[in-house]
Amino acid sequence: MLLFENIILALNGVRANKMRSLLTMLGIIIGIASVIAIMTVGSSMTASMTDTMSSMGANDITMGVSQKSTETETLDNGMFFEWGPRSSKLGDDDYIYEEMLDGLKEEYPDKVDSFLLETSAGEGQAVDGSRYANVDLIGVNQERFEDEDLTILSGRSFTEKDQEEGRKVAMVSDYFCNNMFGGDTAEAPGKEISVVINNKYYYFTIIGVYEYDASAHWTSTSEEETRTDLFLPLKTGFEFKHEDMRFEQVTVVVGGDVNNVDDFMSDIESFMNRRFYRNNDSYEISCSSMSSFMDELTSELSTMSMAISFIAGISLLVGGIGVMNIMLVSIQERTREIGTRKALGATNGSIRIQFIVEAMVLCFVGGVIGVILGMVLGSILSKQMGYEAAPPFSAILFAVGFSMAIGVFFGYYPANKAAKMNPVDALRYE
């Protein structure tokens, strides 16, 4: 009998025994649906995090000052010596300075595009009579401010002179304007504001207003109480704190000539520690990147998804046993049919293929239903968690293929039993 005819017979059998077929396929459906739903949620989370981190600069390198680890040396006589950092507090010689960054840029002119520099100048409150707005004062260089990718609603951004001269100018948010200017963002540029920090008043001139993205900043306070960033030129931020321009951490924007971020991180660490921290007993330069963190996170999510999918896949095993059971029952019911076919010249191979195909069709139909159910469930769960649904199509193909493989595996024994049936005994069977 041709393969196509076997498939038609199997589908007719499913239609003729709808409830029995559905109960047989239930284990397959639940197993496939569970696996697809879990993989969809995991894929959606991974895709969302990848997009978020890419927008934050996945290839950017964070270069920071870190404490040297403790080392132990054991002597031949069994005594051991332990030594480590001599200081747990950063001193003036431990920070990263501009000349160090210039040296790094000179060493790797094609690999270092720029540096994102910032300094926190403290928390404060802008006041004007009964009006007030809570702010975080942050000094930023031009590259760091542009990296924020903010929408400017009115006024202008910082200029080169603002940065070089350390002018007392500020960029404020539209939330700030809602509190201080009744929501009129066009009124704010050019206005002088007073900011109270530790009971001292500081004055800045607003040059521009940016749009505050509330979705990117979780807060439990009302809009009026929300603390937003008040951006200053980098030099202004350091002068405000009465500090030299120095950094504990710097973001290195990687240029186009870098093929492997991890290798370049090692190059940066080697260069900085060899040239600037060689005689520093307590601190050294270490690097990290969003790219490496993203790889670790993706790997952990994949491992977790695979572990949960494995547990869900146990129901596939149960479903396969159900298929074997129903096929044995089917063979018992169709004993005379098998005997008649064998008496008319059907070979053992054709009988075997017929029942294997029936088992595969049962599992395939169950797999397709499971995939549809899993995609719907996975999409609902992903959207409930705030992610865009991203069904893993490779997993879908694998799931359908695996369900058919289960049909072959668990259908072979009943099919082989039918194939070896004695036609005389089968025709006598009542």
Of 196, 226, 254, which residue is a domain's last? Answer: 254
Beta strands, E only, 31-146: 61-67, 71-74, 80-83, 96-97, 112-116, 118-128, 131-140
Task: Specify whether 247 is located in the same domain as 300.
Answer: no
Task: For 31-55, write each residue's pLDDT tens digit.
Answer: 788 878 877 777 777 766 666 555 5
Compute CA 262 distance to the chain's CA centroid, rounded to the nearest angstrom: 19
Task: Specify whether 124 is located in the same domain as 233.
Answer: yes
Q: Is 299 a domain residue? A: yes
pTM to 2 decimals?
A: 0.60
Tell me what pLDDT residue 43 has. 74
pLDDT at 430 over 70: no
Task: Specify whether 250 is located in the same domain as 301.
Answer: no
Q: Is 65 a domain residue? A: no
Task: Specify whether 250 is located in the same domain as 116.
Answer: yes
Task: Specify whether 303 is located in the same domain as 250.
Answer: no
Task: Specify whether 248 is located in the same domain as 116.
Answer: yes
Three-class DSSP category at 391: coil
Averaged pLDDT, 237-260: 88
Residues 6+ apart with CB under 8 A from 221: 227
Task: For 345-393, write each residue's pLDDT tens digit.
Answer: 777 777 777 778 887 888 888 888 888 888 888 888 878 777 777 677 7
Domain total of the chain: 2
Q: Is 99 a domain residue? A: no
Q: Is 92 a domain residue? A: no
Task: Specify whether 7 is located in the same domain as 121.
Answer: no
Task: For 314-354, write each residue's pLDDT tens digit.
Answer: 767 777 777 787 777 777 767 777 777 777 777 777 777 77
Task: Specify whether 35 is located in the same domain as 121.
Answer: no
Q: Is 239 a domain residue? A: yes
Mean pLDDT of the chain: 81
Of 254, 269, 284, which residue is a domain's last? Answer: 254
Structure confidence at residue 422 as a pLDDT band (50, 70, 90): low
Task: Specify whether 232 is located in the same domain as 339.
Answer: no
Task: Specify whether 317 is located in the same domain as 244.
Answer: no
Residues 6+ apart with CB under 8 A from 390: 40, 43, 44, 46, 47, 382
Q: Is 235 a domain residue? A: yes
Of 200, 232, 254, which residue is a domain's last? Answer: 254
CA distance 373 to 414: 29
Over the Cα atoms of the chain, what is R_g?
Answer: 35
Task: Specify whether 120 is located in the same domain as 37.
Answer: no
Q: Is 400 a domain residue? A: yes
Task: For 205-221, write each residue's pLDDT tens digit.
Answer: 999 999 998 776 666 56
Task: Specify whether 120 is located in the same domain as 250.
Answer: yes
Lowest-confidence pick of 109-113, 160-164, 253-257: 253-257
Q: Is 282 a domain residue? A: no
Domain span at residue 170 reads: 112-254
